[in-house]
Amino acid sequence: MTTRLVVHAHRTHASRLVMQILNYFVLGVLGAVFLIPVYLLVVTSLKSNSAVSLTTMWSLPNSFGLSGLSQAWQQVAPDMLNSVYLAVSATIVSAGIGSLNGYALSKWTFRGSNVIYFFILLGMFIPYQITLIPLLRVLDAIHLFNTIPGLALVHIVYGIPIMTLIFRNFFAEIPTDLVEAAQIDGTGYWGVYRHIILPLSIPGFVVAGIWEFTQVWNDFLFGVTVTEPPHQPVTVAIVNIAGSQHIQWNVLMSSTLIASLPTLIIYLILGRYFVRGLLAGSVKG
Amino acid sequence: MSVLPETDQTISSPPTQAIRHRRRLSPNKVWSLVTLTPSIILLAVFVYYFIFWTGYVSFSNWNSFIQNMSWNGFNNYIAVFQSFRFQSDLRNMVFFTVGYMVGCLVLGMLLALLIDQKIKGEGILRSVFLYPMAISAAATGVIWNWILNPTTGLNLILKALGVHHLPQWYLSTAIVPNFNIGYIQGGLPLALVAVLIASLWQWTGFAMALYLAGLRAIPEEIKEAARIDGAGAFRTFWSVILPHLRPITTTAVVMLMAASLKVFDLIYAMTGPGSNFVTDLPALNMFDTTFQGNEFAQGAAIATVLLILVLIFIIPYLIYTIRREAA
């Protein structure tokens, strides 16, 4: 084993350089391919109505124009506001509930708590089509059908599993000794949560918050089922624009860009936390 | 007070483990259960009762706008499985799921290996391959509908490069190889390739992130050996790195499988069912059948089949993961 490595070491110097160049080349090409949609989105958004033509869709705008963006903004601004209300409220409530659940399931396990955990977790893997028919009935009965609060309620409930998972795994890493010590000092269940767990859980809230915000913002299925214009989230709005008869490409691409910007910006600034949420969603701790 | 023996017991156990009291019901455990109760009730209603409800609808006669819950036995399931559309869905689902999983795993693994070579600009590259995960599937569908539109988009470039037979992408009606099976044409509908490209663009970063996390957990000496080129590199990868990544692969397969069975937004926004349902999938079929066709019972039957397909993979995986963690 060792001798083979030594023999290899002689050859590696030059060929490693070649490998490295090849490595960068492949990654560069693939990276460019991955960026194509963003290139087209931005370039088309910046073309004026007259400059938009399908035959020149790949070229840079020869005359910059914000008409597409401003028209798109006028069209989707109300839907953007809907999505903001929706995502912010659902994220706050869901993350709050999730942190309480995570605390209970990580620090105060009892006989059967793993079974409860299992049934909570399963809720995030079901295809939500199975819930749609009853969901419409129930929302109708409580007068929340076709309202943003109704859609927020749906997202809060179906966000509970992943929020619980993220916080449970996050709290599992807080040393039990801390909880123990506080308990000996006479601090009770809620005292431990307020004085020990909560102050340590800010990164947990960032991860959970970013994840839930992105999920709710990007949802389409519940939005298209539970709401109608003008109470629709922005994802539904852009699909409706795309499906309309006379499409102005710069307006459509501008709307899509505007609709994607909030989550994209969060990703660019706080990508590290987004990845943690992404990996947490794969269950393994 | 029984505080002392309990602390003795927990000190000997790893700090990350939860406190396990010997006492049956301490007030704190009651609080723990109380904390969980609202979520338990909400999920009992919105997940489990709704599943039961939809399951019940799937055995009813509710196939018009007027609710009719009279018993219809398995007739809805029979009708669904005999329909041209659902048979097409099953064919598409098989090809889509396989293409999606293999594509994501292979491409994700490749990207992870290339990025894990101590290269410069690693952070930027990771961001570039992962940002599609932050964009909605609806927006993804709208964008790729444009890029893969046969009359514009990518075909403009192919045309400029001198390609004569331009691909029809998602408008293609070709199925290869074409053989009769049930009521439908068996084989891969070429239109699905366009949908696969869009979903690989979106999800490859997920597999890459998983594999990168896995690679980072492998001891440095082992990776160093793999980094050395020549005949050794491939061998080391195959017999050392890959086995280390097996748990990651299991996770990725289960997650991607569940995700691919649930694909809805992307198809809805990008192609719709397609002519002769070449790009249709069960999730979209359920939605159309229920809310456009008002055939609630048949829609419920499709949803139930879809649920069962997902649960077959998810339940064993969840049980395995929670058990392993508790051990």
Q: How many CB pairs under 8 A join A and B?
A: 306
**What is the average pLDDT across B194-209?**
97
* Lowest mean pLDDT segment, chosen from B142-151, B216-225, B317-326: B216-225
What is the least distance, in Å, from the CA of B114 to any CA of chain A? 6
Decide if domain B83-326 falls under CATH 3.30.9.10. Answer: no
* pLDDT value for B229: 59
| pLDDT 10s digits, B89-126 | 999 999 999 999 999 999 999 999 999 988 889 999 99
Domain holding A28, by residue range, is 2-45
pLDDT: is A92 or B220 the higher one? A92
The DSSP result for B95-111, as a single string, is HHHHHHHHHHHHHHHHH
Residue A225 placed within a domain = yes
Q: Cβ A37–B252 below 8 Å, yes or no? A: no
- Please name the member of A108, A176, A235 whose beta carbon is closest to the beta carbon of B10: A176
Whether residue A76 is found in the same domain as residue A140: yes
State whether A126 and A223 are in the same domain.
Answer: yes
Low-confidence ranges of chain A (pLDDT < 70): 1-12, 283-285
- The answer to whether residue A58 sits within a structural domain is no
A178/A121 same-domain check? yes
pLDDT of residue B79: 97
B269 contacts in chain A (CB < 8 Å): 220, 239, 242
Question: Tens of pLDDT along B249-296?
Answer: 999 999 999 999 999 999 999 999 999 999 999 999 999 999 999 999
The dihedrals phi and psi of B120, each to the nearest 5 degrees, come to: -80, 155
Reported as a single tens digit per residue, the pLDDT across B48-94 is 999 999 999 999 999 998 999 999 999 999 999 999 999 999 999 99
CATH of the domain at A210: 1.10.3720.10
Looking at residues B226-236, what average pLDDT do you find? 68
As beta bridge partners, residue B179 has: B186
pLDDT (0 to 100) of residue A285: 39
Q: What whole-number distance in Å separates Cα of residue A174 and Cα of residue A112?
A: 22
- A160 and B133: CB-CB below 8 Å? no
Exposed e or buried b per residue across B104-137, where buried means at least 16 C-beta atoms within 10 angstroms of its C-beta: bbebbbbbbbbbbbeeeeeeebbbbbbbbbbbbb
Ranges A261-265, A272-276, B188-192, B235-239: which has the least confidence: B235-239
**A191 plus A127 within the same structural domain:** yes
Instruction: Record the tokens describing residue A39, joined without a space.
Output: 């290139």
Residues of B within 8 A of A221 (CB-CB) are 264-265, 287
* Domain total in chain A: 2
Minimum CA–CA partner of A129 in chain B: B303
Q: Do both A40 and A161 map to the same domain?
A: no
Please indicate, yes or no, whether residues A148 and A251 belong to a single structural domain of this protein.
yes
pLDDT value at B13 more than 80 = no
Q: What is the pLDDT, as a whole number, of residue A162?
A: 96
Smallest CA–CA distance, residue A206 to chain B, in Å, is 16
* Facing B35 at nearest CB: one of A104, A133, A179: A104
Instruction: Output the average pLDDT for chain B.
Output: 89
> Are A100 and A171 found together in one domain?
yes
pTM of the predicted protein model: 0.91
A31 & A102 share domain:
no
Inter-chain CB proximity B228 and A9 less than 8 Å = yes
Instruction: Say if the Cβ atoms of A23 and B291 lie within 8 Å.
Output: no
Task: Give the integer Cα–Cα distance in Å for B103 and A263.
Answer: 25
Q: What confidence score (pLDDT) does residue A80 get?
A: 97
Whether A213 and A118 map to the same domain: the answer is: yes
Residue A9's pLDDT is 54
**Non-local CB neighbours of B256 within 8 Å, separated by 6+ positions:** B100, B101, B104, B105, B203, B206, B207
Q: Identify which of B140, B153, B290 has the shortest CB distance to residue A57.
A: B153
Residue A283: the pLDDT is 57
Residue B10 has pLDDT above 60, yes or no: no
- What pLDDT shows up at residue B5? 32
Separation between Cα atoms, residue B219 and residue A52, nearest integer Å: 53
Of B28, B311, B326, the CB nearest to A189: B28
Q: Which residue of B has its CA nearest to A25?
A: B114
Per CB-CB distance under 8 Å, the chain A contacts of B208 are none
Residue that has been written with the tokens 């749609």 in this structure: A132
Cα angle for residues B7, A99, A158 (degrees, 5° grid): 135
Q: In this predicted complex, what is the ipTM?
A: 0.91
Question: Between vectors from CA B67 to CA B63 and to CA B73, what angle results, nearest 5°?
Answer: 55
CB contact under 8 A, B46 and A103: no
Q: Which of B3, B144, B230 sits opposite A11 (nearest CB)?
A: B230
Chain A residue with the nearest C-alpha to that of B22: A110
Residue A62 covered by a domain: no
- Whether A272 and A153 share a structural domain: yes
A52 in any annotated domain: no
Name B243's Cβ contacts closer than 8 Å, sequence gap at least 6. Answer: none
User: Domain extents for chain B?
Assistant: 83-326
